[in-house]
Amino acid sequence: MVRTLLFAVLGLLLAGCGEKIEEFGGPTMGSHYSLKYVAGEGVPESAELKAEVDGLLAEVDRQMSTWRADSDLSEFNRLPAGSCRAMPVPVLALVRFGEQLALDSDGAFDLTIQPLLELWGFGAQSRVERVPSAEQIAVARANVGHRHLRIDGARLCKDAAVQLDLNSIAAGYTVDRIAARLAELGVRSYLLDVTGELKALGRKPDGSPWRIAIEAPRDDQQVAQRVLALDGLGVSTSGDYRNYFEQNGRRYSHTIDPQSGAPISHRLASVTVVDAQAMRADGLSTLLMVLGPQRGFAYAEQAGVAAFFVNREGTGFVTRATPAFERQFGAGAQP
């Protein structure tokens, strides 16, 4: 996961009527989560909220983690070709969503990319970052593709040695799950961050909106590229500059193009997607990152996706927003 490309712009202000901003967080999915929310009448105590959130995070980890050998996903990944396994309903839902993105993008998005991630050294079980041979890539690609998957009732089946990696949508899905639970518990204003996938609702006690910053794609420091006010929206940013390795003077990004079997090599440094559904924003940011600056922008524009592109140009960066993004946030909103 690349996700540390968004950060909150937040002053923890106190206001009248007994309302105040409270915060908790912790480790999750190899990274971190945090919840900032407006506490007040009708809102559960912090300990109760944290127990609810931690419980949902633990459930997702048991079902979808590629890091733990006993997760439902890891057990499915170990099965040989021609096998089926009963899977939790959320996993099947994510597979269906991923298949739709794969179809919509002609294969630029693919949840079965795990063999290629492992081959290049970016997978959960990888030990060495390396540049594989063309023959090794061809072998791995033979086991990549949604066409090898089939859902049979409550079972997920494979006709090749397919291995799934849900990281491109699992965090966004988790944000949506937590957001739904917060609504049930009476939390009406919050900023939620799960491994960099964000969602905000309502306003702070002083009446101001929750604001987040899109981070400039720099290795040396954290700088705001653009500041957005959110209410009821999820945000996801994908980029190529946090997780990569270099060999013989060339940078290899962790973002793999399923069709070539190799890391992306275009000049798109990062792309941010805003959507009411955090899972959709999560998946689309990965999809657009794979497609690159021209094809990605054309896809987003045609599909009405609110997206903000940061392209490398010389020693600097050039930004470009889709019409849907500009309608949502305007042409300004600079830090």
Q: Which domains does the chain have, with CATH numbers?
A: 66-167 (1.10.3980.10)
H helices present in the chain, as ranges: 46-64, 72-77, 89-104, 114-120, 134-141, 167-184, 278-303, 323-329
N-to-C CA span, the chain: 26
Can you tell me the mean pLDDT for 115-144? 86
pLDDT at 233 over 70: yes
- Measured from the Cβ of residue 50, the count of other Cβ atoms closer than 10 Å reads 15
Q: What is the pLDDT of residues 29-62, one digit of tens each?
A: 989 999 999 999 999 999 999 999 999 999 999 9
pLDDT at 154 over 60: yes
Tokens 């470009």 -> residue: 320
Reduced to 3 states (helix: H, G, I; strand: E, B; else coil), residue 52 is helix
Q: What is the pLDDT of residues 272-321, one digit of tens each?
A: 999 999 999 999 999 999 999 999 999 999 999 999 999 988 878 899 99
Residue 315 token pair: 């020693």
Question: How far is the C-alpha of 145 from the C-alpha of 259, rounded, in Å?
Answer: 9
The C-alpha angle 68, 256, 248, rounded to 5 degrees, equals: 105
Judged on CB neighbours under 10 Å (0-12, 13-18, 19+), 246 is exposed
- Measured from the Cβ of residue 263, the count of other Cβ atoms closer than 10 Å reads 20
Question: How far is the C-alpha of 200 from the C-alpha of 187, rounded, in Å?
Answer: 11
pLDDT at 9 over 60: no
Q: What is the pLDDT of residues 157-208, one digit of tens each?
A: 999 999 999 999 999 999 999 999 999 999 999 999 999 999 999 999 999 9
pLDDT at 13 over 60: no
